[in-house]
Amino acid sequence: MTTTELGSLTQKVNELARNTGKLILEKRASYAFDQIESKGLHNYVTDLDKLSEKILVEELEQLLPESGFIAEEGTSTKKGETYNWIIDPIDGTTNFIHGIPAFAISIALMQHQKIVMGVVYEMTADELFYSYTGAPAYLNGKEISVTNQKECHLSLLATGFPYHDYDDIKNYLGLLGHFMKTTSGIRRLGSAAVDLVYVACGRFEGFYEYGLNSWDVAGGAFIVQQAGGKVTDWKGSGDFVFGEQILASNGHLHTKYLNGIQKYFA
């Protein structure tokens, strides 16, 4: 796929994400949240998650018929030989249930094993973040970039609290204390996709979390990279989409953040 073709496809995916997000918000206004399904400890799904994913899968398959899917709710398990979409229909479902801003649709396109497009639509703020190979990163059509902050004590970090895997809770709390002392603050929004695009547009200098799935991070991590940032796993390697650990930063502070993480997660 050429850069021009990929750009054209991205614009169609942008429109799909925005339209689907607006529909989900409209339906949310009259949705009864008394029948929420649990997929595991502190892991919830609503009918609107399923509806969002169904719409996205059907439309993306029309845009790229040969593609397959890695989708959180399992609407399609079709595997594409070259292209596969990685979809989170509502990243931040707990926020969504409680009416707390910071939930988003996240879409990534993987060509073989490489992400070539990322789209994240934060519904409540009507903010559409996107990029594709060969292009800068954008927020609502305006180019964005990571910050140029080089001082760790002046940086703002985001994280996610462990919600089902508590085996490393002691180390996690130790790391949290380390970053509390060495940065200007830590935020926990409840949506990895939103955390990542906030790094991309300069609202955070970094984001770290473990226990994540590919659909939580693929779209946002790609946008961070296209905005000039750096993304690795906690060993400093590139296995962050499927490796369940991620560190995204403005690049300048990546080594300092990574050194901090590795004191507690060697």
In this prediction, residues 221-233 reach a mean pLDDT of 98
**CATH, range 152-264:** 3.40.190.80
What's the sign of the alpha-carbon dihedral 246, 249, 252, 256?
negative
Q: How far apart are CA 90 and CA 100, in angstroms?
A: 13
Does the pLDDT value for residue 68 go beyond 70? yes
163 or 97: which carries more pLDDT confidence?
97
Count of all residues that appear for the chain in the document: 266
Residue 46 in tokens: 């609503």
pLDDT in tens, 187-226: 999 999 999 999 999 999 999 999 999 999 999 999 999 9
* pTM score, whole prediction: 0.93
The CA-based dihedral angle spanning residues 180, 182, 183, 188, taken in that order and rounded to the nearest 10 degrees: -30
Does the domain formed by 3-144 have CATH 3.30.70.20? no
- Taking alpha carbons only, the member of 201, 168, 204, 200 closest to residue 186 is 204
Q: How far apart are CA 186 and CA 155, in angstroms?
A: 9
Does the pLDDT value for residue 39 go beyond 60? no
pLDDT in tens, 124-156: 999 999 999 999 999 999 999 999 999 999 999
Same CATH fold assignment for domains 3-144 and 152-264: no
pLDDT of residue 41: 47
pLDDT in tens, 95-126: 998 889 999 999 999 999 999 999 999 999 99
In this prediction, residues 5-19 reach a mean pLDDT of 97
Confidence of residue 69 (pLDDT cuts 50, 70, 90): very high
Under 8 Å between Cβ of 148 and 120: no
Q: Any idea which residue has 């990571």 for tokens?
A: 146
Domain ranges for the chain: 3-144, 152-264
Does the pLDDT value for residue 234 go beyond 80? yes
Question: 104-111 and 114-122 as β-strands: parallel, antiparallel, unpaired?
Answer: antiparallel
Query: Residues near 26 by Cβ (< 8 Å), separated by ≥ 6?
Result: none
- Taking alpha carbons only, the member of 209, 213, 168, 165 closest to residue 187 is 209
Does the pLDDT value for residue 164 go beyond 80? no
Query: Residues near 166 by Cβ (< 8 Å), separated by ≥ 6?
Result: none
